[in-house]
Amino acid sequence: MTPGVTVWRCTACGSLFFPRRLLCATCHSPDFAEAQAVAARIEEITEIRHVLGQTHWAPRRLANVRTADGLAFTVGLLDGSQEGEEIALFQDGTAPFGRRLKESAA
Amino acid sequence: MGQGLEAAIVAVGQSRYVRRPEPGETTHTFIRDAILAALADAGMAASEIDGLAVTSFSLAPDVAIDLAWRLGLSLRWLHQDTNGGSSAMNMLGHAARGVHCGAARNILVVAGDATGLAGYAKIAANYNRATSDHLAPLGHGGPNGVYSLVTTRQMKAYGLEKSDYGHMAIAQRDWAAKNPFAVYRDPLTMDAYLAAPMVADPLTRYDCVPVVAGAQAIILTRPDAARGPHAPVHIRAVRNSFNFDNQRGDGLRTGISTFADDLWEAAGFGPDAIDVASIYDDYPAMVLAQLLDLGMIPDGDLGRFAREAIGRDRRPINTWGGMMSAGQPGGPAGGLNGISEAVLQLQGRAGARQVAGARRAVATGYGMTLYRYGGTAAAALLERAS
């Protein structure tokens, strides 16, 4: 798991995207530069307690988060962080995760 | 598309709906059964069908032409839709225009699925690239995970209580009790609703559609050529929206908000004229969102509408029980069930759940969860021939 989540910034107009797009939804430029989102604030949380067809499911917590730039996406929570808290972002492969900033620093 | 559209729905057909198919029952056999029922309903021979539209999550590797072949249908119009919960509405629009333009005389529109629970879970985890790359690795649990977050957002934005959604589940269960095809027909109480096991906070068991196997079919033809036993149901207007906000919003509005005014204007009547509404109910929150976008909650008070219009007054919404009680045979077929129910209501054939004097209906589709919420929405306004 690596710190930060890779997002994409349109080099023509500066719009941010996650997931990646083929053309910018604002100006339709095809040119993007990778950027790192390192922190975000939790807006909503859910706990996935039951999944169809799974008999031995360990509940997972997911959150809708928003970066200071206004980009919203869904992350898996690695701890008990709560709505309204700012969390540090991580990436495991293509999947975004987050945990409390303080615990991340420790 | 306006009132001059020369296309009408003349027949509906449905297979049985089951939680677990019997050995030998497949998506193909459920679709066949629905088609046979629709043909019988129309008093039409299969050889009279010259157009076919199909949607299914589980037809693969077959596609529409394979289905035509298996059904022995020789066609001059063929369409397959892949847009989930709005597929049925998309097919309705394409078929209506096909009939109107003379591309085909009699178009069969069919939707069905028999994924099984394991098959559905596989589809949910691989719904699109964004899901398989960015959501499934989190253990998002399919659309329940996505719409649990949307529901929480709606509750905060509109001050809704959990029980507000319960009114919808309970009302639809009451309607389902009068629908012999519904898989769940036992009465549901608010206590039982609130005590149901949590699936994905705040969604509990009765907020999540039960996966079933089954299929639906309808037949469209020119109204002046309709010779079956049932009154043709005119398609006054159909409108669609795809990717209206690029997933940059909050998911509390749908693409219906982009075309609702145009839809009503094209039909020549407004929300007050609607007698029956089939609103795509993948989740209660999205029913309220679509009703709001249609202009059917004029004061924007979603909670009051849920408590009073749905809970107290039993406004005729999803009178077949909706997918929440009748079952969802894949999102595509669920959408066609709402259209079929509207047709039955307008033809006065809805049995114990018949809404007296129903003349005009609205039906919607919503779906294709791109990432944070659905990316497609559609609606049709239907009217019984006078």
- Fold equal for B8-117+213-225 and B128-201+236-384: yes
Q: How far apart are CA B230 and CA B88, in angstroms?
A: 21
Q: What is the pLDDT of residue B4?
A: 59
Instruction: Count the Cβ atoms, other than its own, within 10 Å of residue A8.
Output: 18
Contact call for B135 and A74, based on CB within 8 A: yes
Q: Which CATH class is domain B128-201+236-384?
A: alpha beta
The B-side interface with A (CB below 8 A) comprises 117-118, 120-121, 124, 129-130, 133-135, 137-142, 144-146, 148-149, 152-153, 156, 197-203, 211, 246, 248, 371-372
CATH dotted code for B8-117+213-225: 3.40.47.10
| Rounded CA Rg of chain A | 15
Provide, as residue numbers in chain B, all residues whose Cβ is less than 8 Å from the Cβ of A78: none
- Rounding to the nearest 10 degrees, give the CA dihedral for residues B57, B61, B64, B68: -120
Q: Which residues make Cβ contacts (< 8 Å) with residue A58, sequence separation at least 6?
A: none
How many CB pairs below 8 A link A and B?
A: 103
Structure tokens at B224: 């002046």
Which stretch of DSSP H or E encloses residue A6? strand A5-10
Tell me the average pLDDT across A57-78: 97
Q: Which residues make Cβ contacts (< 8 Å) with residue B314, sequence separation at least 6?
A: B171, B174
Q: Which parts of chain B register pLDDT below 50?
A: 1-2
**Which range marks the domain in which residue A87 is found?**
2-105
Q: What is the pLDDT of residue B1?
A: 42
ipTM confidence score: 0.96
Count of domains for chain A: 1
Name the one residue in this structure whose structure tokens are 């009503």.
Answer: B264
| Domain residue extents for chain B | 8-117+213-225, 128-201+236-384
Chain B nearest C-alpha distance from A32 (Å): 17
Q: What is the pLDDT of residue B334?
A: 76
pLDDT digits (tens, 9 = 90+) for B181-239: 999 999 999 999 999 999 999 999 999 999 999 999 999 999 888 888 899 999 999 99
Structure tokens at B215: 């299929």
CATH number at residue A36: 2.40.50.840
Q: Are B197 and A45 in contact (CB under 8 A)?
A: no
Decide: residue A101, CB within 10 A, 0-12 exposed, 13-18 middle, 19+ buried: middle
Contact call for B198 and A49, based on CB within 8 A: yes
